[in-house]
Structure 1
Amino acid sequence: MTLRRIGSGPLAKEDVQETPPEVQDTDQSMSLRWRLSLLSATLVAFAVGIITVAAYWTVSNYVISSIDDELENQATVMLERAGQPGFYSNVEAEIDTVRAYSQDMRIALAPPGWQYVVGDSVTVPGNILLNQSGSGTQIASTNTERILVKRDDAGAVVVLAKEMAETNRQITALGVLLLLIGGIGVLASILVGFIISNEGLKPLARLQRAVEHIVKTDELRAIPVVGNDEFAKLTKSFNEMLQALRESRTRQSQLVADAGHELKTPLTSMRTNIELLLMTSKDNSHSIPEEDLEALRQDVLSQMTEMSTLIGDLVDLAREESIETSEPVVLNQVLEIALDRVESRRLTVNIDVKETVQWEVVGDEFSLTRALVNVLDNAIKWSPDEGTVRVSLNQLDADTVRVIVDDSGPGIAESERELVLERFYRSISSRSMPGSGLGPAIVNQAVHRHGGALVVGESDDGGTRITMDFPGKPLRSQLEN
């Protein structure tokens, strides 16, 4: 089980969480190779069982049907001969002649109107009625014989009883043989199934070894793809996952490295200033003029503000990478929220909102709001007093909407328009201004995560134009209008 502890107090009962059943140890379960082998054996056993029963039933019925046909033919011949003149005067000899060809058969003949039978004594089962009138045939079985009774229109009756012991023995032997063959087939299917599953699962075993190697060595190298079957597709999916992990690791390493580099400068400067302030407070011989001391304090506060801003931007950037929320968002409402938030940032700059459309995108409302606030905030910051920030949201085509934010500032040099979207990059004209250089990167990442595109250009009055395209669809109310 997994133990979770909160704070420094004793371990509470509710802090103990049971491991979910789906992640519990399953080492004692049967391997996939054996499951496939037993599954194939089960299917083969089922098929062999059906075939064995069908074969046994077919053969036994065929044998009995053949015996019935033989008895029927012999009874018909005897009744035909019984209709010839002088037959009954030599009936015993006729019966002996038939018996000579079928030694395992007993024969009884009842001439028309006779009260007794000629030939062998045959016990007729109770379900056969000898006193029936008219021609007909009846067949019945006892434990050891197959009995046929046939009568003609004249009233003569022939009873034939064939010994079935040898036939039953042969049918039983056939059933045992079929059962033995079926059992051998099942055992062979287990062996063949194990061989086939072993061969078929070799790509999976190879993939497992590659994954175990990755776990041991922490090397996110691509796994070789062999063939074009389902295992090859699974390997390709693993490689795509590894590629995503490599990119995530690279981004994390780059973020840590950039954050460390960017935090180092203000920390060093702040440490120097704080040490100077401490030294001044402890040793009166190193007194500093009051105006310089106030400037030093303001410098420390400014550096703390800069660090706070940088850390906040780093948190936002890291959060942007981990956002997975995906829900319908009304983009024009998000734009209105962003405009409300920046409206009081600088009252000397006018904000001109042109036309907007009712548009819906799929994504994260908080991320989109933060991105638009960042763009609007930068536009206001770089616009001069009495300048104008122009905002528009227009439908570009059936599936795309375009958001444009123009400012009246100095603009960004064409050679730097792509660079400003990189982390921590600051254009030459902005390096004297406070900021972390992460804002455009956060916006660009948010736009791309929502399937859009961001372009930095030049506004009509020489300032900066930020163009953001988002996929989506117009709202139903917009379509109805």
Structure 2
Amino acid sequence: MPLRARLGLLAAAAVAVAVSAVAVAAWLLTEQQLNSQLDANLRSVRASPAYVAELLRSCQFQQSATEPNAGDRTPTPYTVQVVTGDGTVCTAPGSSAIEVDAGDLAVARGFQRDALHDTESEDGQAMRVATSRPDGPAEPGRNYAVSIAQPLSVTSKPLDGLAWLLLGVAGVGVVGAATAGAGIARAGLRPMKQLTDATEHIARTEDLSVRIPVDGDDEIARLGKSFNAMTAALASSRERQQQLIADAGHELRTPLTSLRTNIELLIRSEKTGRELPAGVRADLLTSVGAQIAELAGLIGDIQELSRPDAAPGSASRQLVALHEGAERALARAKLRGKEVKFTCELEDWFVWAEPAALERAVVNLLDNAVKFSPAGGAVSLRLEAGRLSIEDEGPGIPADELPYVFERFWRSPSARSLPGSGLGLAIVARAVHASGGTVGLHRAPGGGTLAVMTIPGARTPPPQAPPAAPVPPVPPQAQSRLPS
């Protein structure tokens, strides 16, 4: 059953229960009031002593063919009956005798003051009877009681009419509630229908540009905003994925083409039996090895960027001594830059991060500094209060190129002849931002490049778990295509 129909039925059921409860309560209250009023009326009615005496005298003639004339009586809604202590019933002429129970006899014999009960007359009519002792004896020495009765139809007929009225009102209310509930559900669930249509359209066409119109700030509007944000994020993720694939294909094409050319030359030499000069063959093999190493590094960088980010508080984030990681990164950089002078000033600093990713980020920054430093140049590494800076004496980065240095596969025109994939700084940005820090490149005062990495932490190891703080804003020069 559709949700709209279920909501309509629920509204109708809720109204039906409420209306039924009110109707039953009203009917029961009315019944109690009418019965109480009937009992009060029966108890307030008193037959005159003369009339009671006349009824008692007429009892001796009840077996005869003709009855004495009790006189002209004004018609009343009540039936008057005298009950004697021996069980004799004296009923007014023209009235049906009323069944006598033990309570009536107890009142007639003086055992109780009055009695009130339901019974039936001889003609089968339901009656309400109030029996009491008379105020004064109509005939001395005789025990009797007077019963005043009235048909129960005086209350049952109004109650039946009220029941039908309440039933009709309840039926109209339920039907109206069902109709109104269906209409309200249809109007209220219209945004849900739009959301469903948009979801089905995206599932069918994979078109992530679809957006749902959002109006208001209620739960449905929030759901629509969340859906729009989700589709926008998916579209951005797909775009970055496609861009990564395109860039990776472009970067892989050059080393693969060169590698293929060199290997084809070696194969042709073997097939034709024409040996290449020893120097040429050695150069080809060296080139093949370098190209394979370049491909391996490029594939490793792509794999690193394709990994999902570690969520705050995840098991992969650990307490890391940044100063120790910087020392290890510096040792690796010294192996690659034997002609470069290194200076190092490191203070203790502990952060929550992925150890391998953070150390690789420092290694990549140092590798860039070594790559662009001239022979005999100096590279300084300094860590103070969570601010890690690396300064070189290279040519520096032009100001118009600084906004693009953290983009994937972006390489400065002046550095395209140097080895590298253009992914190193993108990996740096990813690792630093995952640790809650910031990173940026600037022009050094001496003309080189100054890389600054800032990560929140403490000088002593904190005992608490890693904070689930929001990721800080991305620096302007790294906002274009940061890895997700």
Normalised to the residue count of structure 2, the TM-score between the two structures is 0.74
Q: Which has the higher contact order (CA 8 A, sep 6+)?
A: 2
Flag the 1:458–1:117 CA change in 2: closer, same or farther, 3 A. Answer: same
Mapped to 2, the partners of 1:355 and 1:153 lie a distance apart of 115
Query: Does structure 1 retain, via aligned residues, the 8 Å contact 2:436–2:456?
Result: yes
Matched, 1:147 2:124: no
Residue deviations 1:126-157 (CA, integer Å, cap 9, x gap) = 45641697996543223612122345787895
Q: Which amino acid aligns with 1:141?
A: D
Q: Is it true that 1:168 corresponds to 2:156 in the alignment? A: yes
Sort the Cα spacing of 1:372 and 1:125 in 2 relative to 1 into closer, same or farther, 3 A.
farther
Asked whether 1:36 is paired with 2:7, we answer yes
User: Cα gap change, 1:456/1:331 in structure 2, threshold over 3 Å: closer, same or farther?
Assistant: farther
Q: Which residue of 1 aligns with 2:313?
A: 327
1:390 aligns with 2:381: yes
AA paired with 1:216? Answer: R
How far apart, in 1, do the equivalents of 2:72 and 2:414 lie? Answer: 127
The higher radius of gyration belongs to: 2
Residue aligning to 1:258: 247
CA distance in 2, matches of 1:198, 1:220: 27
The answer to whether 1:295 aligns with 2:283 is yes
Which residue, 367, 389, 398 being the options, matches 1:405? 389
Secondary structure of 1:160's match? strand
| Structure 1 gap ranges (5+) | 1-29, 395-401
What pairs up with 1:224-239 in 2 under 5 angstroms? 224-228=212-216, 229-239=218-228
**Residue identity matched to 2:347:** E
Instruction: Output the amino acid matched with 2:344.
Output: D
Q: Give the match for residue 467 of structure 1.
A: 452
Deviation at 1:377, TM superposition (A): 4.3
1:468 match: secondary structure? strand
Quote how far apart the aligned CAs of 1:332 are.
4.0
Secondary structure class of the residue paired with 1:52: helix
Across the aligned residues of Structure 1 and Structure 2, the Cα RMSD in angstroms comes to: 3.8
Shift of 1:476: 4.6
* Matching residue of 2:430: 445
Match of 1:189?
177
Contact 1:325–1:364 (Cα < 8 Å) also in 2: no
The partner residue of 1:49 within 20, 43, 53 is: 20
Query: With structure 1 as the length reference, what TM-score do the two structures score?
Result: 0.75
Aligned to 2:404: 419
Q: Provide the C-alpha distance between the structure 1 equivalents of 2:195 and 2:343, rounded to a whole number of angstroms.
A: 58
1:435/1:89 Cα in 2 relative to 1: closer, same or farther (>3 Å)? closer
How many Å separate the matches in 2 of 1:472 and 1:52?
70
Output the CA distance in 2 between the equivalents of 1:137 and 1:366. Answer: 101
Residues in 1 aligned to 2:349 and 2:73: alpha-carbon distance in whole angstroms: 108
Would you say the 8 A contact 1:327–1:364 is kept in 2?
no
Structure 2 match to 1:64 = 35
Q: Distance in 1 between matches of 2:368 and 2:72?
A: 120
Relative to structure 1, the CA distance from residue 334 to residue 37 in structure 2 (aligned partners, 3 Å threshold; closer, same or farther) is: farther
Identity %: 34
Q: CA deviation at 1:225?
A: 1.3
- The answer to which of 409-418 and 124-133 deviates more is 124-133
Q: Summarize deviations over 1:281-309 as a string: whole Å, max 9, x none.
A: 23344x43211221121011111111111
- 1:200, CA displacement in angstroms? 2.5
Match of 1:436 in 2: 421
Q: Which residue is 1:374 aligned to?
A: 364
For the Cα contact (< 8 Å) 2:99–2:119, is it kept in 1? no
Q: Given the superposition, is the C-alpha separation of residues 88 and 231 from structure 1 closer, same or farther in structure 2, using an over 3 Å criterion?
A: closer
Residue 344 to residue 231, structure 1, CA distance change in 2 (3 Å) = closer
Q: How many residues align?
A: 426
Q: Which runs of 5+ in 2 are unaligned?
A: 58-69, 121-125, 138-143, 465-484
Q: Shift of the alpha carbon at 1:338?
A: 5.6
